[in-house]
Every structure is written in C-alpha cells, then in structure tokens.
Structure 1
C-alpha cells in the first residue's frame, strides 16, 4: 500500500494529538502527579494581602522581632523581650508546600516568652512558618521559609 503526502500529514496530526491527549489524561488521573492549590480561597487571600503588609510593618517597628530555633524537642518560637507574654494572642501556621496533609495551625498560648512546637509534627524539609499575633490590640505578623 502506498501512502501519499496528504495521508502522511493527517497521520502525523492524529499521532501528535494522541500523544498530547495521553499526557493530559495521565496528568489529571495519576495521583503521582497530584497538584494542589496553595490555598483553597486563593483570590480571597490575595485581596487581604494589604493587611499582611500592615502587620509586617508593625512587626518591623519592634526593637526585636519573633525568632525561632530548632531544638531536639521541636521548634522553639521566642517572642520579643519586654512584652507581657500573657496578653499575646494569635496563631502559628506551619504550611508544607509539598503536602497539604502536613499543614497545621496552633493557637498561641504562652506561659513564658517561648512556645514549643513538638518535633513529632515536623518532618524534615521545607516549611513556611507564619505567626499571626496581637499585642495590646495591635496586629503583628512574622513569616519565613524554614528548612528543618
């Protein structure tokens, strides 16, 4: 059987379209290629971004900002000295970019200037640390990418 150039072009297009469709179906069905949104309400979070900028600016006006240190017990978060730690309220959010199931949020409850996040919840790798806290009615924010 002899194939002319018109048939060859049609077969090439059909082969190319089949190849592309295979990859589209594989990427949508296979769990190994699972893709998650960074946040469920992406646009709502972006609209509230100015609040984050204001909170970061408030934190930058402090003489000392929040700090953290990895210890054998976990992640120790230290709040600025000179503040009445009993009146600090807020939450600590640890976000794992590679897996939504590992994300967690912890309320801030201080008995001294330090807060310990237990090591059993923290796997090695990259985390985004976000500390939203309030002191004397003024909101503050500390966020940083950390590697454990």
Structure 2
C-alpha cells in the first residue's frame, strides 16, 4: 500500500474522531464525573418563575430590604426594622453551586430582627442565598450571591 497525502489526511481524521469519541464516552459513563442538574424538580420550579419575580418586586417596594453580614459566628441576616417579627415567616435556602451535597434550608424563626446561620454549616467559597419570606401574607424574596 502506498502512503500519500490523501491517506494521511484520512488517518488523521479517523484518529481525531476516535480521540473525541473516547472522551465523550468516558465523561458520560464514568461515575466519577457528576452531571447533576441544578435542581431535581427543574420544571416545577420553572412554573413558579412569575411568582418569584412578583415576590422580588415586593421586596424592592420595602423601605428597607434584608441585609446580611459575615461574622465570626456565621452569617447574620437582618430583616427590616420597621416590620413586626411575629408576622414574619418563611425559609432561608443556601445553595452551593459547586456541590449540591452542602445545600441546606433553614426555617425563619426570629426572636429579634436577626437570624444567624451558624459557621459550622458554611464552607469557604461561593454561596447563593435565597430567602423566601412572608409578612402579613404578602410574599417577598431576597436573592444574593455571597462569598463566605
């Protein structure tokens, strides 16, 4: 068999396609590479999108929005001072983009206008915090990306 340019180009294409197919098959079948969706119930959450937008708009209408502060004990979330804390209900969801194993949710129970997320639940790095709360049956939502 005579080896010429045409044969070399065909062999190069076959080699390249084989190389790419090896990595595609390895990445899709190996358990070491985790391909999780952001959330398990993606479509259910997508249906709630307009409610979330309305809740965020309600939060923007407040005189004072929720604030957070990093401290030695953890993250202190401060609710608006002009609201009665006995009428505040909801939950705080902390989402770790790099690993869903560290995601957690905490119900809101206030004795003053502050809520503490303990330091032992938080790893250093990026977190997305979502606070879904209600005051006098009006929904509010606070979303923020934080670096802890």
- Greater alpha carbon shift after TM alignment, 95-104 vs 2-11: 2-11
Equivalent residue number for residue 17 of structure 1:
17
Deviation at 1:141, TM superposition (A): 0.4
- What is the 5 A alignment of 1:43-82? 43-82=43-82
Deviation at 1:6, TM superposition (A): 5.1
TM-score normalised to structure 1 length = 0.91
TM-score normalised to structure 2 length = 0.91
Please report the RMSD computed on the Cα atoms of aligned residues, expressed in angstroms.
1.6
Deviation at 1:104, TM superposition (A): 0.4
Aligned residues: 147
* SS class of match (2:133): strand
Deviation at 1:26, TM superposition (A): 2.7
* SS class of match (1:56): helix
In structure 2, the gaps of 5 or more residues are none
* SS class of match (1:43): helix
Equivalent residue number for residue 105 of structure 1:
105
Segments of 4+ moved more than 6 angstroms: none
Alpha-carbon distance in 2 for matches of 1:76, 1:25: 46
Equivalent residue number for residue 139 of structure 1:
139
| Deviations 1:71-103, CA, capped at 9 Å, x for gaps | 000000111012111221100000000000010
Alpha-carbon distance in 1 for matches of 2:54, 2:44: 17
| Deviations 1:30-88, CA, capped at 9 Å, x for gaps | 62x43321112223222211111100111111100111101000000111012111221
Alpha-carbon distance in 2 for matches of 1:62, 1:6: 71
Equivalent residue number for residue 91 of structure 1:
91
Alpha-carbon distance in 2 for matches of 1:15, 1:34: 28
- Greater alpha carbon shift after TM alignment, 86-95 vs 43-52: 43-52
Alpha-carbon distance in 1 for matches of 2:94, 2:61: 24
Indicate how the Cα distance of structure 1 residues 30 and 23 shifts in structure 2: closer, same or farther if over 3 A, else same: farther
